[in-house]
């Protein structure tokens, strides 16, 4: 501003708009001292001011401070704040935190005040982590009732979507023919828990099968076949790999490990 051919370089006095007075004071002090204290009281005025004046070190410090403050009760506000001030890294982290902790976030008061476009952006994510889609529906209905947003029951497009959902739920035998973008399962950030049954005893014999139960789908599926039949086997998970240790094959005790 002062060293180029901009008009401000020839003025004796310049009015700087949209910068909080206390934030400007802290930033000028930072320019001379290279030190600044960021806390809960000043971060919301300091970050926009640092963005306008392009003081990257202070921007980064404010973003790091806000990352450390994230919790389910404030992550939506921090997400909106980051979006408003183009703090892309903070926006990305707040967005992931919101998705990862949606079960808690949906209970926060901040959700009720979200603009419709931000609400749609959050619930549309494939990485939304929740117990069931019904949780998402209930959160949206809570938002609708709070904001008195009119429900468009007379809209033909809405009615078609409701009919499609009813058919999908009430006609499970037809689901293979009804697959599309609205029936595709999400891919949450947080891995869901599953249960493994390793080996065991069946009809008088040790068995070698490894099967998995998924509580989300309420289904069992075969995972692998061990090279040895084992019952009374020890199991452990390390680095996403399942280990079977020792056990008995029906004749003798085993001193081997399978992965």
Q: How many CA atoms lie within 13 A of 251 on its CB side?
A: 2
Per the structure block, which two tokens stand in for 17? Answer: 């708009």
pLDDT band at 2 (very low <50, low <70, confident <90, very high): confident
pLDDT at 185: 76
Per the structure block, which two tokens stand in for 178? Answer: 């009804």
For residue range 122-164, list pLDDT tens digits in order: 999 888 888 888 889 889 888 888 867 555 556 778 778 877 8
Q: Give the residue from 77, 51, 57, 52 showing the smallest Cα distance to 66.
A: 77
pLDDT at residue 227 above 80? Answer: yes
Q: Cβ distance 195 to 215 under 8 Å? A: yes
For residue range 35-87, list pLDDT tens digits in order: 999 998 899 899 989 988 889 999 999 988 999 889 999 999 899 888 888 78
Domains, the chain, with CATH or none: 7-127 (3.30.710.10), 195-258 (no CATH)
């Amino acid at each position: 501003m002062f060293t180029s051919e901009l008009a401000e370089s020839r003025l004796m006095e310049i009015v700087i708009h949209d910068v909080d007075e206390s934030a400007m004071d802290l930033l000028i002090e930072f320019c001379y001292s290279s030190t600044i204290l960021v806390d809960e009281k000043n971060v919301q005025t300091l970050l926009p001011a640092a963005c306008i004046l392009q003081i990257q070190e202070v921007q980064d410090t404010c973003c790091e401070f806000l990352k450390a403050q994230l919790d389910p009760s404030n992550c939506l506000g921090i997400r909106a704040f980051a979006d408003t001030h183009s703090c892309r890294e903070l926006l990305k982290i707040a967005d992931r935190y919101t998705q990862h902790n949606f079960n808690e976030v949906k209970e926060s008061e901040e959700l009720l005040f979200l603009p419709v476009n931000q609400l749609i952006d959050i619930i549309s994510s494939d990485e939304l982590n929740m117990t069931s889609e019904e949780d998402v529906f209930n959160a949206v209905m809570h938002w609708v009732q709070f904001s008195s947003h009119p429900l468009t029951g007379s809209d033909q497009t809405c009615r078609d979507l409701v009919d499609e959902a009813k058919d999908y739920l009430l006609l499970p035998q037809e689901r293979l023919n009804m697959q599309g973008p609205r029936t595709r399962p999400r891919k949450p950030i947080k891995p869901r828990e599953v249960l493994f049954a390793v080996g065991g005893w069946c009809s008088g014999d040790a068995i070698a099968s490894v099967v998995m139960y998924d509580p989300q789908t309420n289904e069992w599926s075969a995972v692998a076949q061990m090279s040895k039949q084992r019952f009374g086997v020890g199991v452990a998970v390390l680095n996403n790999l399942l280990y079977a240790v020792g056990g008995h094959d029906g004749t003798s005790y085993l001193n081997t490990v399978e992965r």
